[in-house]
Structure 1
Amino acid sequence: MALIVYVEVLLASDSLQDIELLKKFLDEQFTIKDLGPLKYFLGLEVARSHTGISLCQRKYTLDILQDTSLIGSKPAAFPMESNLKLAIDDSEPYEDPSSYRKLVGKLLYLTITRPDIAHSGQVLSQFLAKPTVNHHKAAIRVLRYLKATPGHGLLFSSSSELQLKAFSDSDWVGCIDTRKSITGFAVFLGNSLISWKSKKQATISRSSAEAEYRALATTTCEIQWLLHALQDLQIDHSQPTLLYTDSKSAMSIATNLVQHERTKHIQIDCHLVREKLQEKLIKLFYIPSQLQLADIFTKPLGSLPFHHTLRKMNIIDIHVHLEGGCWSIASHIDNMELKSKVEKAKIVNEI
């Protein structure tokens, strides 16, 4: 049984009887109110069906659009232009830096269920000290993308196999200000995305192979943590985690036990990945770049590759995919320019 406390209390267990006993005990000690099955928690909306459990932040997204007066803006097909390269001093300073910081903070919280804007949030958060007009325009573009996809979220399939699969990638010299590379990874349990990251590397890599290898090391550490979490939940995962990379050079460094002149400065990462390979914690596979799912966390993608990757990552809009009911109808209402939230709520209630 897992018990999570943050103002409200969440209970999760494979035994309903044990949950009832614990709720009775907590009520005797503190006088609690049972709110029933989880539906809404800290901005996260939870929906269950025979296909699995879905998480989204639709209401939180609409609140952001309302607060920024972009609820009626023109939608965008993807969050960032594929050729966009933002820098520290690339335009005049933005007139209201505090509003930019608040907006980026809200976008970062939204990435809890929206991996599709994880890279955008990582890029925009680098300019909090002195945001410029171009930085603000890029943030508005992300909001316009959210306008088109307010209900996007994660689907945890009920039929997924208990097999960890990870995709690791990097964008060499992705930051034009610091010349540091960007690490991106995605970890799946079966077909369900459970962990991801888009982050600038701590040191400068001298080659693309080195950048890819550092990304492999970061992904390996995440895999190790997830295996410990599964062990705490008493879930057996004895088979190796499948780790996919599109860099044959990084794979050669990981499997070659000989230290060379050009790899001795990344010795710690080398030993980490090699150790986990020898322990059979991970198993490395090569994957072509066009099939690399972690690519979405390292650089802005165009419309076609962006949406192709989202489909592969099982990111859906339950308000569109659910057949019938108020949800599927309400998804069309969001695209209408309504004067107020009250007017929208009346239409939903009438339906």
Structure 2
Amino acid sequence: MIITGDDPEYIAFVKARLRDQFLMTNLGPLRYFLGIEVFSTSDGFYIFQKKYIQDLLARAALGDERTVETPMELNVKLQPTNGDHLPDLTRYRHLVGSLVYLAVTRPDISYPVHILSQFFSAPITIHYNHLLRVLRYLRGTITRRFFFPRSSSLQLQCYSDAMWASDPSDRRSLSAYCVFLGGLLIAWKTKKQTAVSHSSVEADLRDMTLLTAEVTWLRWFLADFEVSITTPTLVLSDSTCVISVARDPVKHELTKHIGVDAFYTRA
């Protein structure tokens, strides 16, 4: 059990009451939990998964010591065919599943993990080669850590973007966003959109709508912890067309089919 808070006396009281009811051992300050390492300083604390990555690399048994600078090649388009099927599907699924958990503290691998997870049922050799590239990237960046300062502003700021028709198999677009609370990255996601978008504007608008729903939930969630955010949340996009449609959805009859998304984002 992990006990948190800023009142040492009350924490000690809770521990004493729990020891009266259960057989417990006080392990001291949090340092390691479910593969996640925690290092505390006077300015804040770091979370990372260095040991988890080392164990993952040992299980992968890479035959070399190479590293790469990026987790995936630029503009690569993986498809479910055009390659030989792997003789052992369990190894691919095990490694990708481990990367899914690692992405909890490594948002820089969120995109390649999302792509590789789509081929769980029938991975081929090219998918496995790209999986090995992610592992080599992790080997070269194993010391990267998340830092959470003890003090930060309570201003939410968000960034969204979409890759239009990026999946060559079904031409659905890819949504991606990240949310900052002050200087803290607290939420991020890479997700394929559920419908085919007719244009990049439509794909970006759907991405912004997904982010708007996430921000709405986060504001409610923070309110439950009595964290009051009174200022509007900035949702930033690099598409001037999307910003224009979100401000005034009744711009053209061609936007009627995405009017719901536009009005939701605008509200």
TM-score by length of 2: 0.96
- Tell me what 2:41 maps to: 49
Are the aligned partners of 1:182 and 1:201 in contact in 2 as well (CA < 8 Å)? yes
Alpha-carbon displacement from aligned partner over 1:236-270 (angstroms, at most 9, x marks no partner): 11111111100111111110042632222123212
Equivalent-residue separation in structure 2 for 1:127 and 1:257 (angstroms): 37
Q: Which amino acid aligns with 2:117?
A: S
- Tell me what 2:115 maps to: 123
Superposed displacement of residue 202, structure 1: 0.7
- Tell me what 1:37 maps to: 29
State yes or no: 1:265 paired with 2:260: no
Equivalent-residue separation in structure 2 for 1:90 and 1:183 (angstroms): 26
Alpha-carbon displacement from aligned partner over 1:97-116 (angstroms, at most 9, x marks no partner): 12111111001000000000
- Tell me what 1:200 maps to: 192
SS at match of 1:183: strand
**What value does the CA root-mean-square deviation take over the aligned residues?**
1.3
- Tell me what 1:80 maps to: 72
Superposed displacement of residue 18, structure 1: 1.5
SS at match of 1:93: coil
- Tell me what 1:345 maps to: none
Superposed displacement of residue 71, structure 1: 8.1
Q: Which amino acid aligns with 1:57?
A: Q
- Tell me what 1:242 maps to: 234
- Tell me what 2:104 maps to: 112
Superposed displacement of residue 67, structure 1: 0.6
Long gaps (5+) in structure 1: 1-8, 276-351
Higher relative contact order (CA 8 A, sep 6+): 1
Aligned with residue 163 of structure 1, among 144, 155, 165:
155
- Tell me what 2:8 maps to: 16
Map of 1:1-351 to 2, 5 A cutoff?
9-70=1-62, 72-258=64-250, 260-275=252-267
**Corresponding pairs, count:** 267
Alpha-carbon displacement from aligned partner over 1:172-193 (angstroms, at most 9, x marks no partner): 0111111000000010111111
Superposed displacement of residue 153, structure 1: 2.5
Are the aligned partners of 1:71 and 1:147 in contact in 2 as well (CA < 8 Å)? no
Long gaps (5+) in structure 2: none
Are the aligned partners of 1:185 and 1:196 in contact in 2 as well (CA < 8 Å)? yes
Are the aligned partners of 2:249 and 2:263 in contact in 1 as well (CA < 8 Å)? no
Are the aligned partners of 2:84 and 2:124 in contact in 1 as well (CA < 8 Å)? yes
Alpha-carbon displacement from aligned partner over 1:292-337 (angstroms, at most 9, x marks no partner): xxxxxxxxxxxxxxxxxxxxxxxxxxxxxxxxxxxxxxxxxxxxxx
